Structure 1
C-alpha cells in the first residue's frame, strides 16, 4: 500500500502489508522464543535492553529522519527519539525492584504459608497510532519485554517509515530480535495480531478502540486501551496569568495539537478572562508553520489526511454557529500538505462539535465562567476523561478542583505533565480508555499473571475428612 507524505501530499512510500498467515507465523515464533527470554532473568533482560538503547543512540539520526518524514515535524521527532531512549533507561532502573518477588508470608490460617510468584504473558500485542509513531510503539513494549514477554507491534499504516530503521536497531541487538517483531499494514493486519496474542495494548481513537475491545473480548484476552481525549483546563481568578497563558499555549499547540494529552478546552474565570485571553492569543499568534523549512517554526502539518476532513467539519460547524476566531481559524495547503492555523476560538457552546468531539489540531476553545464550580461542571460534561489542568495560586483550591475533575492525570499550574512524569499512575476515565495504568509501577504489572504457592507447613488441615 502507498503512504502519503504529510508535507507534500504525495504517495511516495510503499508499505508492505503483512498477511494474516504471516502474523500467525511470527506470533508462533515469538511464543517459541519467549521461554528462553524469560529464563534470562531480570538481570539478563536489563542487559539486553541497555544494549538496545545503545543501538537506538547509534541509529538516532536515521530514526529522527524517518519519524520526521512520517510526521512532517522535526523538533518533536528529535524529542520523541530521545524520550524513547530515556524510557528504556528508566525501566531498566525500575523494573528489577517493581517485579522483585516478595518473601513468603504466613496466611491468616497460621499453619499455611504463601509464596507469591508470577509468570509473564507469552506474547503481547501492541497496536500504535500515528501521532508519536516510535514512542507509542515502544512505550508499552519496553516494560512488557522487561517483564519477560515477547512482543509484536503493528504501527499505524499512516506513519510506518520509521519501521525500517527500527528493525535495523533490533537486528543489531540479536538477543532481542527473536522476541520483538514489527508488522506493517492496515486494519486487517491489526485484527490478525489481536487474534493470536495473549494480551493487547492499543492507542488510538475511541471508535477504533471500542472495536478493538470487542475483538479482544471475543478472544478472551485482556485489553489495555488508551483512547481519545478532550482535555480541559481551568484557569481560576487567582491564577498567574503569565504562567497559565504560556503553559496553555504550549499544551494546546505542541505537535500541532495532535496529541491525546492536548488541552483543547479552557474555562477561565470572568474576572481575569480579558487579560488571560489577550495574553494567550498574543502568544499563539507568534507560532509559525514549519514550512518550507521543517526545522523552522513550531507548527507542523496535519499528519493524517483523514484528519483534515474532521478539522474542517469542526471549524465550519463552530463558525457557522457563532464561534469567533480570535486568531487563525483556517486550514491552509502549503506545498501539498495541510496545515491548521494556530487557532483560539471563543463564544463557543456545547452545541458545537469543536467543544464536544476530539479535534486533534492546533485549535483551542476558550469559555468564560463565573465560578470554579461552573468550570468543573463544564469540564466534566464530556464523554472523555484522559487528563486536565488547573491553574490557581491557592494550592488548597487547586487540589480541591483537581479532585472534582473526572480525568486520570491532572496537571497543576502547568500543562500536559503526564507526558513527562511517567512514574505517576493514572487511568483513563469514561470513553478515554480502560485497563490498568500505562504509567508508574502498575504499568509493568499489566504484563504478568500473578501466582501463589500455598504450602501446608506440617499441620493436619481441620477440614480434612476424619477417618
Structure 2
C-alpha cells in the first residue's frame, strides 16, 4: 500500500494535494490501539461520553473556518462547506441530548410473562470497533453521521473518508487531538479502496455510504467475517406531481431536490412523473425556474451550481443525457457539462419525452438533470415510481397533504417527502426509515436505531424462587 494518491481540485482540475495510505501493519496498529481504549470508554458511562463529545462540538465550532476552508477545497463550494462544521456540532449536541433517553427507552426489564419466578433485565454491549467508510459528496458531515451515535453507544470508531475529498481530515484530526479522551477512541485514516478493504478486515461492524457495487463487495467481505454491515447505497428518487398540485410550488420543490449540490446527493430527485393534464404547464414553469439558476463560476461566492466534485461523475451524467437524447428525449434547457478553468460544470437541465428504456430513468445519475415523464393517472405514476432497483426515498406533491400522503403510502421507498422534496435531512435523530431494494442494507441510520444498532443486547435472567428439580420434568409428573 506504499506510495501516495493524488487528489484533484474540483474547481481547477489540477492535482494540488496528496495522501499517503497507511501500510497494513500501520492500519492494524491503529485499530489495535482503538480496541485497547474502547473498554474504558464504554465503562465510563453515557454521561461521560456525552460530556466528551460536547467538548468536541465546541472545538469543531472553534475550528470551523479551517474545516470549512479545507472542505471548500475538497468540494469546490463555499457556503455549504462553511456551514457544515456548525451542522456537525449541532448534530453532536443533539445526539448527546437524546442518547440517555434512547437507552432508557430500549432497556427492557420486568417479570417473565410465562414464568412468574423469572425476572429479566437488559444490558447493552457495544461492538468494540466500528469502521466507517464515507463518501465524497458531503465529506465531513457524512463521515460523522454514523460515528457520533456509535461513539455515544460506547464503540471506538475508525473512519476512512473518500480519497476524492480528504483535505478536511487535517483540521478535523487536529481538533480531535484537543480532546484526548476522544482521540483515544476515534481516528481518521486516509487512503483508497485498499485501505477501506483493510479496515473491513479489522473491525467488528461496518458502516458504508456509497455506490451499490462497492457496497455489495464490502457486504460480501462482512458476510465472510460474520460481522454486521450497515449500508446506505444509491438512489433514483422519484417525485410524483398530481393534477391538483400548485405548479409553481411543485416546480420549485422538484428543481431544488434535483439540482441542489449539483445533484450530488443520494436522495436527489432524479425522475419526475407528472399528470398528463398539467404536464406541459409544469414543464414550462420548471424550465423557467431552471433557466434562472447560475453556475457558481468564476466567483465561488456567487451562483447556484458548483462544479462536479468528481470529474468522472460529469462523464456519467453526460452519458445518461446523450443516451436519452439519442432515444428521443427533448431538451428544454441546460445540456452537457462544460469545462471552465479546469472545473466541470453543468447547468440545470430539463428533459421530457423520457421513458424507462433510458439510462437517465433507470441508473443513478448524480447530476443536475430533471427528466419528466407524463402519466395518465396516479396509478401509472405509482407503478413507474416503483419500477426501480432503488428505494432510498421519494416525494409526492399534490393539492393537499391528505392526497399526497395517500399516494406516498403506496411508494416503495424508505422516506417519502410530502408537498416538498428531499426532507430526509430534517429527521436524522427523529424517525427511523429502511431503504428498499438495492438502496441499502441493515437497520436505520436515523431515529433511535441510529444509535441502538451499534449495541448488542444481553438479557440477564434471574430465577427469583426455588430452582425446579428434575422431578418436575418427569414424563409422569
TM range (shorter): over 0.9
Distance 1:192 1:466 in 2: 52
Over 3 Å counting, the alpha-carbon distance change for 1:466 and 1:327 in structure 2 is closer
Q: What does residue 234 of structure 1 align with?
A: 240
Distance 1:384 1:460 in 2: 54
Q: What does residue 21 of structure 1 align with?
A: 25
Distance 1:174 1:391 in 2: 49
Contact 1:49-1:88 within 8 A present in 2 as well: yes
Counterpart secondary structure, 1:420: helix
Q: What does residue 146 of structure 2 align with?
A: 140
Q: 1:293 aligns with which of 289, 299, 302?
A: 299
Q: What does residue 5 of structure 1 align with?
A: 9
1:104 matched to 2:88? The reply is no
Over 3 Å counting, the alpha-carbon distance change for 1:231 and 1:466 in structure 2 is closer
Q: What does residue 421 of structure 1 align with?
A: 427
Q: What does residue 59 of structure 1 align with?
A: 63
TM-score scaled by structure 1?
0.98
Q: What does residue 452 of structure 1 align with?
A: 459
Counterpart secondary structure, 1:196: coil
Mapping for residues 370-385 of structure 1, pairs under 5 Å: 370-385=376-391
TM-score scaled by structure 2?
0.96
Distance 2:470 2:131 in 1: 44
> What is the CA distance between 1:102 and its match in structure 2?
3.2
Distance 1:260 1:323 in 2: 24
Counterpart secondary structure, 2:427: coil
Counterpart secondary structure, 1:248: helix
Distance 1:327 1:287 in 2: 11
Q: What does residue 251 of structure 2 align with?
A: 245
Distance 2:64 2:190 in 1: 21
Over 3 Å counting, the alpha-carbon distance change for 1:67 and 1:106 in structure 2 is same
Counterpart secondary structure, 2:89: helix
Q: What does residue 227 of structure 2 align with?
A: 221
Distance 2:299 2:178 in 1: 33
Counterpart secondary structure, 1:280: helix
Counterpart secondary structure, 2:390: coil
1:69 matched to 2:78? The reply is no
Contact 1:418-1:424 within 8 A present in 2 as well: no
Mapping for residues 357-436 of structure 1, pairs under 5 Å: 357-422=363-428, 423-436=430-443
Please list the CA deviations of residues 52-107 of structure 1 after superposition, one character each: whole Å capped at 9, or x if unmatched.
00000000011111111100011221332222111101101100110126363000
Over 3 Å counting, the alpha-carbon distance change for 1:463 and 1:337 in structure 2 is farther
Larger deviation, residues 181-190 vs 97-106: 97-106
Counterpart secondary structure, 2:460: strand
> What is the CA distance between 1:142 and its match in structure 2?
0.3
Counterpart secondary structure, 1:389: strand
Over 3 Å counting, the alpha-carbon distance change for 1:463 and 1:159 in structure 2 is farther
Contact 2:60-2:86 within 8 A present in 1 as well: no
Mapping for residues 309-348 of structure 1, pairs under 5 Å: 309-348=315-354
> What is the CA distance between 1:390 and its match in structure 2?
0.4
Please list the CA deviations of residues 340-380 of structure 1 after superposition, one character each: whole Å capped at 9, or x if unmatched.
22101111111111110000011111011110000000000
Q: What does residue 278 of structure 1 align with?
A: 284
Larger deviation, residues 98-107 vs 450-459: 98-107
Over 3 Å counting, the alpha-carbon distance change for 1:464 and 1:416 in structure 2 is farther
**Number of paired residues?**
467
Q: What does residue 181 of structure 1 align with?
A: 187
Contact 1:106-1:113 within 8 A present in 2 as well: yes
Over 3 Å counting, the alpha-carbon distance change for 1:458 and 1:313 in structure 2 is same
1:442 matched to 2:446? The reply is no
Contact 2:238-2:271 within 8 A present in 1 as well: yes
Larger deviation, residues 274-283 vs 160-169: 274-283
Counterpart secondary structure, 1:377: helix
Q: What does residue 88 of structure 2 align with?
A: 84
Distance 2:325 2:213 in 1: 26
5+ unaligned residues in a row in structure 2: which ranges?
A: none
Contact 1:20-1:188 within 8 A present in 2 as well: no
Mapping for residues 128-167 of structure 1, pairs under 5 Å: 128-167=134-173
> What is the CA distance between 1:393 and its match in structure 2?
2.3
Q: What does residue 37 of structure 1 align with?
A: 41
Distance 1:460 1:311 in 2: 69
Contact 1:67-1:162 within 8 A present in 2 as well: yes
Distance 1:165 1:466 in 2: 66
